[in-house]
Structure 1
Amino acid sequence: MPRIPVVRADSPELRALAREIWRTADAARPRPAGALRAERVRHKIEAAELLLVAHYGTRPAGMLLAETYVADGVPDPEVGHLSMVFVDPAVWGSRVGTTLVRDLQGRQWSQLSAWTRTDNRRAQRLLLATGFVDSGARSTLQDGDELRQLIWTR
């Protein structure tokens, strides 16, 4: 199995690479993002507090975006929020997603939160396999899709 190096994506070139990984992964989803969602993702990547890119050997393979958790408008420096993680479908099952999440867990936050659609089994398997637990919190998007929150604590 090839190495899976993870780097912080602070340069414009690495941020562009993260956008490309997102586009590739998004195209494989049952409901790919529309133009508005794609623009929001582009903006989040450009403004990311923490953006990681993983390679599978030499192939760009995954991206993860995280930020400080904000509750009621107040940032909590001890808690991070895993906003998105995407892996190129060509390397699904190769531990790229796990490597990205484990790298995040070794960084500054002692707790992480993540929200995922309840029908996104792949994301839930990844999060549960890396020590996240279901918080019991649920929310509903404008389109009616239900979300569930998962939490990880160091």
Structure 2
Amino acid sequence: MTTRLAKSADHDDAVAVWRAANVARGRPPEAARVDRVRAKLGEPDAIVIVAVASGRVCGMLLAEPGRDLDGRGARVDGLCHISMVFVHPGRQGQGVGRLLLERLRTHVAALGGTRLQVWTGSGNERAQRLYRRAGFAPSGRTALLEPGRTIEQFVIDL
């Protein structure tokens, strides 16, 4: 298995992985959401990384410059925000997510980045385990997305 920065030709495969993972966890995305994700992958400052096994994309990661005010403010020098990490259901538990995060960490550090951050659901034990194993730690910050859905921030200094 290899990881690499995605090319625009990889975006459809990355969206397919994202979609398959969401369907598998009982959250099939609506068409408008699929379109928004596809657009985010194509943004000029997006960092899209894919994992490839046997010639097929089996994992995807989307990151972007971190911003103040929880994404609503100005860019924060050195901060990179991880928007999503998804692995095809048939490849989950095989280290794909860890490889994607390692590639991002190396890439961002080479660009002079100093910190990665990610928000994940308080009840998403699988994602939290992934981030902890990759060296991330809870920042202590939480937020309420919607009634009953709390998210937690994890960070790592590079």
Shift of 1:143: 4.6
Q: Is 1:77 aligned with 2:40?
A: no
Q: Matched residues in 2 for 1:30 and 1:22: separation?
A: 13
Q: Is 1:111 aligned with 2:107?
A: no
SS of the residue 1:131 aligns to: coil
Residue ranges of structure 2 left out of the alignment (5+ in a row): none
Match of 1:46 in 2: 42
Residue ranges of structure 1 left out of the alignment (5+ in a row): none
1:18-42 CA-partner distances (Å, limit 9, x unpaired): 1111111111113333344333322
TM-score (structure 2 length as normaliser):
0.87
Match of 1:55 in 2: 52
More helix by share: 2
TM-score (structure 1 length as normaliser):
0.89
* Matched letter for residue 30 of structure 1: G
Number of residue pairs the alignment of both structures matches? 150
The answer to whether the 8 Å contact 1:56/1:96 transfers is no
Shift of 1:144: 3.2
The answer to whether the 8 Å contact 2:131/2:154 transfers is yes
CA RMSD for the aligned pairs? 1.6
The answer to whether the 8 Å contact 1:24/1:88 transfers is yes
Q: Is 1:19 aligned with 2:5?
A: no
Deviating more after overlay: 101-110 vs 26-35: 26-35
Structure 1 residue ranges, 4+ long, deviating more than 6 angstroms after superposition:
none
Shift of 1:58: 2.4
Select 1:67's aligned residue among 58, 64, 67: 64
SS of the residue 1:32 aligns to: coil
1:73-123 CA-partner distances (Å, limit 9, x unpaired): 110230100110000010111111100001111122221000001111111
Q: Matched residues in 2 for 1:32 and 1:152: separation?
A: 30
Q: Matched residues in 1 for 2:95 and 2:104: separation?
A: 14
Q: Is 1:130 aligned with 2:134?
A: yes
Select 1:9's aligned residue among 2, 6, 10: 6
